[in-house]
Structure 1
Amino acid sequence: MPRAPKSQSQDIKPKPYDLGEGSNSHSHAASSDEYDTKPYIKSRTQKAPGRTWMGDELVTLFEIALGKGPPKTAFEGALPDRSALQAHKTWQNTIVPFIKKALQEKGDGNTKSR
């Protein structure tokens, strides 16, 4: 059975793509606010206050990240006129302790400034 035609007296609602200027919009044009459904999100401009890192925490974090350290083979051919063993021992005995000391001092410096 065919559908009955709709009454011509009903107001035709515009479609969102009919709202632009120069388009064949209907007489009942809705404002663009009706179609704006984006939520307002306030952006956070300041960092949340956090707890300062202690020196022993920084050293522990460094040790976890470093793990057992690089293997001796990682230093092979890295420096001319130096063996892999020399480079590895310098890493273990000079550079790692220096970094740990610097991290410890940085952490201790955070607590002294309070």
Structure 2
Amino acid sequence: MATTIEDQRLDAVFTALSDRTRRDIVARLSAGEATVKELAERYEMSMQAVSQHIGVLERSGLVSRGRHRQTRPCRLEPAALAVAVSWIEQSRRTWTARMDRLETHLAHVQRSENP
């Protein structure tokens, strides 16, 4: 099966979100921009470790860094979440339809066994 650019983006987003610290950073950035130093204050890890997490988020497209004077604030890029949300929603629709068909089938089987 060929891998598309969208598949690669989806893999990168899910990989980035597979880590609790990175999910927490995404949640924090949903409230507004923050510097690496501000983000690192929340964790018992070095700024370098937090910066590495942010690097993973940047490569996935979930986070970008701007420039404001001497700082480089991080900001959430919500559009990057659209790929994951779309995939999750499509999967939800597929499984809902399958469960509905199964429920209908089981009801039919029960009716035919108990006339």
TM-score band, normalised by shorter chain: under 0.3
More strand by percentage: 2
More helix by share: 2
User: Which entry has the higher C-alpha Rg, 1 or 2?
Assistant: 1
